[in-house]
Amino acid sequence: MEAVGAGEEEADEWLLQSLRLYGDLHTFELQAPTRLIEWARGNRVCVAGYGQSGGNEILQLLPPPSLQVKETQGLCPERDFKVECGGFSNRPVYSLKYVPDTSLLVTSGPPDSSLQVWQVSAEDSASRSSEELGGLAFLDPDTLLLCSAEGRLFLADLRQPRGPLEAASIPWAPCGERWCMGVGHGPPGSDLTSQPIVCLSSGGHLTLTDVRKTSESLATVKCRVPSASSSGEFLCVSWAPALESCLAVSGFDGTVRVFDTWGWEGSGLEVEPIFVHRGHALGGCNGGGDLPLVTTHTWHPQKARTLLSAASDGSLHVWDWVQPGGDRG
């Protein structure tokens, strides 16, 4: 009779606890790990490889049918993502965004800070800057917001591709930390200039601001994370599109932490998550060696508490946590 390891027991216990903590949970395995998950039109999902060697695949996937309906499916370990189309990049893909209302997408990655614009199999050149990118987002079809890894925000007008970039430092950005960015939606009925911005550092600092005044901080807090991310390579922060005031953070370990920003004001506050997804960390206990590191996550565009997350072991999870009291919002 073979003894059951402590890691296996912990993973089994997590699966049992999931029956109460999650509304939906799907686990999948990608052929290669990804550090980004991006939603495309028609509820498609895009992933891409980040390896330093050539031949990094960019895939557009059809998500599980259960994500297209409102009924709760419960735990579902099916591998039912379908590849719709794809291609290859000869460089690592660290960031990817679809141009709104078009079939174009923009990617970036080492060894420099150039941008690549893709349409099916066509590739075209874009703009360059002297700083490494920590994130980018379209505010509208013509305006691009970029975050440098050093802690500066840039606004670019795509109608003037050779025009200068407007720059502003992230408010209260500690030196020596790597930064990334997430852009949310403003209140219902508001214009694009009221979009909230959150910036995350490798030291666990979160700074909230908005598009109208990127140089002014609305709040600066410190996340309680197990340890500061030494390289910040997989830092990811994102606003919930269908859940007011919530954001998610990953890249420090094998978890995804969800925070509620309601009541965040001023600076110096240390904040605790309202939910922590530990599935990637516990799922990797059986194989030995280093535990998986969450490389990216994203929110479902319509389902308020549903997220997708990926890890360095190639695992891809879809999960929906249950709000205390049973309110699924």
* Full set of structural domains in the chain with CATH: 22-321 (2.130.10.10)
The alpha helices in the chain, defined as continuous H runs, are 6-21, 279-283
d(CA 254, CA 276): 10
Amino acid code (one letter) for 198: V
What region, left, alpha or beta, does residue 266 occupy, with left being phi > 0 and alpha being psi -120 to 50 degrees? left
Can you give the C-alpha Rg of the chain in angstroms? 19
61 with 79: CB under 8 angstroms? no
Digit-by-digit pLDDT tens for the chain (329 residues) are 344 555 667 766 766 666 677 777 777 788 889 998 888 877 788 899 998 877 888 888 888 776 665 555 555 545 567 787 778 888 899 988 887 777 778 888 888 878 888 763 434 446 445 567 788 888 888 888 888 888 888 877 777 765 555 666 666 656 678 889 999 876 666 565 678 889 998 888 898 887 777 667 788 888 877 765 556 788 999 999 988 889 999 999 999 999 999 888 877 788 899 999 988 887 655 555 678 899 999 999 889 999 999 999 999 999 998 876 654 44
d(CA 194, CA 241): 14
Please tell me the predicted confidence (pLDDT) of residue 283: 64
Q: Which position has the token pair 């891409």?
A: 48
106 with 136: CB under 8 angstroms? yes
d(CA 7, CA 157): 51
**pTM for the whole thing?**
0.71
d(CA 227, CA 224): 8
Please tell me the predicted confidence (pLDDT) of residue 69: 56
d(CA 216, CA 207): 10
Residue 176: CB atoms within 10 Å = 10
Q: Which position has the token pair 């709000």?
A: 323
Q: Which position has the token pair 């109460």?
A: 20
d(CA 309, CA 301): 14
Q: Is the peptide bond before 111 cis (omega within 30 degrees of 0)?
A: yes
What 3-state class would DSSP assign to 139? Answer: strand
Please tell me the predicted confidence (pLDDT) of residue 217: 77
Buried b or exposed e, range 61-85, using 16+ CB within 10 angstroms:
bbbbebbeeeeebeeeeeeebeeee
Q: Which position has the token pair 């598009």?
A: 211
